[in-house]
Structures are given as structure tokens and as C-alpha cells.
Structure 1
Amino acid sequence: MGRFDGATVLITGAAGGLGRGAAKGFAAEGAKLVLSDIDEKALADLAGTLQVETAILAGNIADEALSEDLVRLAVEKFGRLDIAVNNAGIVQSFVRLPQVESDEARRVLEIDLLGVFYAMKHQIPQMERQFKANGKGGAIVNIASVAGLVGAPKLSVYAAAKHGVVGLTKSAAAEYATKGVRINAICPAHTRTAMVDGFVRVSGVPEEEALAELTRGVPMKRVAEVEEVITAILFAADPANSFMTGHALAVDGGVGAI
């Protein structure tokens, strides 16, 4: 019997590296899945590989209606929403603050910060209703970043958005600490996903050299593997982890230690 046997888990950005890893991790532990991503084909392809009950809905997390529809889908399909992993996000161009185009900054904030706000705005009331009805609420795991805990040169707007995610997490966790909803954030350093692969491609240097530059400030001198971050996500969502809320858990190779 898995840790999440029978639980309904909603994951945004499910077709990307961390989202896909989370979907597989929860599925292996017995969860039912509600998955969303802006890439409809990749989302359908992922669902076809999973051996658990799965519902999918493609869309842009910057559109509030998607978050409302996802919660409705979870309830209509599976009767409740137990866990939400708010993972959808993008990164900005790797440039100094004055070089960030204003339209790009707006898009990063709309997706990375407001997208999480919209998601929680609709997830929390459903979990609170469940808690009032039967004493079983839910858990929300927001995917922030180590850039939400410290400064991130040449990623200023991204860092601002992720600091905002941590702020939303802590504030909402305090608001709902007695209402059956645990809310935590995972703050990974650079992880071996499409974002890191893209950085390597545009760097114009060999992969080893590009990764060395990317991890120069990481004591472990490497990027995180997806599986390492998924372990933290599952830990934060685990119902046995019932006394942790409002926490921003760094998975950062030691960045926060220096």
C-alpha cells in the first residue's frame, strides 16, 4: 500500500521535468491524478504512460479560470482534492535587470507568481470544505526556488516571483493552520530539467563548462537530479508529515549554508 493510496493529486506543469517526475512519483504510491500543462500533446502523452486513474486539462496557469476548472475536475472525477502540487512556471532571460524586457517580466510574474495565487485561491476552499465535512483536509506544495530565498543575479524578476511564492506559502499556511490545510514550498537549486538544458544550449560552451558556471556557488558543485527534488515534494505532501506547514524547504546542494 502506497503513501498516497487513493488520494487525489493535482499537478500543474505536469509535462515538464519536475511535473512529470511528480506525476510518476505519486502514481507509484497509489494516487489518482489530475494533470495540467500548457502543452496539450505532451500532457496526453504523459497520461498514456501512467497506470493509474488520470484526468487531464490543458491550459495556461496565468488564466485564473484554469485553476477553478482543475479543482472542479478533481471533485467531479474523484470526489475530492487531497494534494496539489503547484509546479507550472517559466524562467526569464539570463540578463541584468535593466535588460529584461517589460513584457517578459510581466509574463514571468503572471505565470510564476499569480499562477500560484490563482491555484491556491481555488484549491484552499475545497480542502477546507472537506476538512469541515469529515476532518480530512489536504496539502499544498508550491514549487518555488532557491531564488525565492536568496538573491539571484541575472534572474531578478524570476527571483522576485519566487520570493512571492514563498510569501504566499507562509501567509496562507498561517491562515489555514487550524483549518486542515497544510501549505509548504520546495525551493530547489538548478535541476536537470529543460530549463537547465536550455541554459547549456544558449551558453555557447561545452556542457561541462556551462554546468560548472551554473553551479559555481553550489557547495556540492552539481545540479540537482529530478528524483532528488521529487523526494522532497513527496515528503512535504505525505499525510504522515502532519506537523509541517509554512515551511520553505531548500533542496539546494548547500547554497543556504554559505
Structure 2
Amino acid sequence: MGRLSGKVAIITGASQGMGEAHAKAFVAEGASVILTDVNAVAGEALAEALGSQAMFVKHDVSSEADWAEVVAAGEARFGRVTVLVNNAGIIGTIAKTADLSAADFAHVCAVNQTGVFLGMRAVLPSMVASGGGSIVNISSTSGMIANVGTPNLAYAGSKFAVRGMTKQVAVEYGDQNIRANSVHPGYVKTPMMVAATDEDGGGAAAGIPLRRFAEASEISPLVVFLASDESSFITGTEHVIDGGMIVC
């Protein structure tokens, strides 16, 4: 316990799924956490349950103005932001490329790609002023390889983009003691994944060496590690956590 003591973290998409699991793990490890999500009811309830180390801000990650408000509110409550977990993401319409509308493509990229850019840009001044920080961008195995089960081109493209943007920020801000890494989960039992596929894995799990989907709580220890000083010499790298799926 206490691996994140003194850290001030923003976690997006924190009302449910992996974001909720990350928020719980961060508070348990001593961080002060700004939870953000478009789902205010669930987010406020979670922040209240987590106690004085947590606060909630309703937040559309594709909005520049919302990002400015999140950082300002977090700094006013807890001080300068030293950790960012860009977790919010959407799957979008499940469709092959020829059937994917330009509007659907743009919506997925606005959340999954532009949202990550806006988040990094918003917190970097705070991190520079505090003497360093850690950015953890949640991508996907669909940002590593072309998966047969990837829902659409926009999802794959945005997740690959997150991987590249992470590396660029790591290069640009390493001399400011700011690290940036991407996390690439495979199938995880989250409400979003349940809505898109069989919760228990079904045929998808048959292609995973561990023969099951991950629990959201199994991803959080990796995110905690990358946010902590234990990973102080790790930056610009991909961290795959998929039960062995992409080795098959």
C-alpha cells in the first residue's frame, strides 16, 4: 500500500469498467484521484464511496473546454496533476470499412484519439511545473496487430494512433522527467465489451491461451505500476496484457 502516495491522478472513463477498477486501485495505493466520465450518476457515486481522496468531474474527453475544467478543478482540490490515465474509449458501430459512415469514424476517433491528445496537452503544463509525471494511455491489442475481432477501422486506427502519440510525448518530454507509456489489453469483462460480444468469451476466448477474458481488476496493477516510481526508467513502450492472445 502507498505506492502512489503523493500522486495526483486524473482517470478518464472512471464510472465503470476498467476506469472504475483503476480508480479503486489508485485510491487504495494512496493517490488523490480526479475521476471523470460522461456518466455523472455512477461517477459521483463512486467518488463518494472512495472518500476524501477522490472527486468526480463530468467530462467529455473530446472537449477542450472540459479538459481545462478538469485540470483546474483537480489542481484546486489536490494540487498539480502528476498522473494521467487516458482510459476513456468507445467501440463505435460494428461494421466493415465499406459500411462504416464518416460520422461514425469521426466519433470514434474524437473520443479514442483526439481525447487522448487533448488530455496529454492539458496535463503537461501541470506535470512540468511539478517536476515530472507519468502518462498511461489505454490502447488495445487492436493497436498492436490487426485483430479479426476488431469492431471497425476507426477503432483500430485510433488505438494505433494512441500508441504512436504516446511515443512522441515520451520523446518530447523525457527531459522534463515526464514518462508516457501505452497499455494494450485484450478482451476484458467490461460493460462495453459485454455489449459488443459474449461476456464469457465464447468463441473469442478459445483464441486466448488462458481461455478466458480478463477481469478489469487484473489490468489495474499494471496501470498502478506504470503510474508509480517503480517504473521510473520505463517510457515510450507498449505493455500488452491479453492472456497471450496476440502470440497465437
TM-score (norm 2): 0.94
SS in 2 for 1:177: helix
Query: What is residue 177 of structure 1 aligned with on the other side?
Result: 174
SS in 1 for 2:175: coil
Which 5+ residue runs of structure 2 have no aligned equivalent? none
Q: Verify: 1:148 aligned to 2:113, yes or no.
A: no
Q: Verify: 1:227 aligned to 2:217, yes or no.
A: yes
Query: What is residue 226 of structure 2 aligned with on the other side?
Result: 236
SS in 1 for 2:209: coil
Query: What is residue 204 of structure 1 aligned with on the other side?
Result: none
Alignment check: 8 A CA contact 2:82 2:126 kept: no
- Divergent runs of 4+, >3 A: none
Query: What is residue 122 of structure 2 aligned with on the other side?
Result: 122
Query: What is residue 106 of structure 1 aligned with on the other side?
Result: 106
Measured in 1, the distance between the counterparts of 2:128 and 2:111 equals 25
State the identity as a percent.
33
Measured in 1, the distance between the counterparts of 2:169 and 2:194 equals 33
Query: What is residue 208 of structure 2 aligned with on the other side?
Result: 218
**Greater mean deviation of Cα atoms: 115-124 or 49-58:** 49-58
SS in 2 for 1:213: helix
Which 5+ residue runs of structure 1 have no aligned equivalent? 132-136, 202-206
Return the offset for 1:6.
2.7
Aligned length: 246
1:202-249 CA-to-partner distances (Å, cap 9, x unmatched) read: xxxxx65xx222234322221111111111111111112100000110
Alignment check: 8 A CA contact 2:134 2:179 kept: yes
1:19-39 CA-to-partner distances (Å, cap 9, x unmatched) read: 100110001111111111001
Alignment check: 8 A CA contact 1:36 1:58 kept: yes
Q: Which amino acid is 1:169 matched to?
A: T
Alignment check: 8 A CA contact 2:91 2:192 kept: yes
Alignment check: 8 A CA contact 1:138 1:181 kept: yes
Query: What is residue 84 of structure 1 aligned with on the other side?
Result: 84
Measured in 2, the distance between the counterparts of 1:252 and 1:220 equals 9
1:115-174 CA-to-partner distances (Å, cap 9, x unmatched) read: 00000011112101221xxxxx11110111010111134432101000000010011101
Query: What is residue 72 of structure 2 aligned with on the other side?
Result: 72
Measured in 1, the distance between the counterparts of 2:22 and 2:105 equals 27
Measured in 2, the distance between the counterparts of 1:196 and 1:92 equals 11
Measured in 1, the distance between the counterparts of 2:98 and 2:27 equals 43
In proportion to residue count, which structure has more strand?
2
Measured in 2, the distance between the counterparts of 1:164 and 1:119 equals 14
Measured in 2, the distance between the counterparts of 1:111 and 1:199 equals 18
Measured in 1, the distance between the counterparts of 2:65 and 2:165 equals 19
Q: Verify: 1:199 aligned to 2:196, yes or no.
A: yes
1:39-70 CA-to-partner distances (Å, cap 9, x unmatched) read: 11111111111033222210211111111221
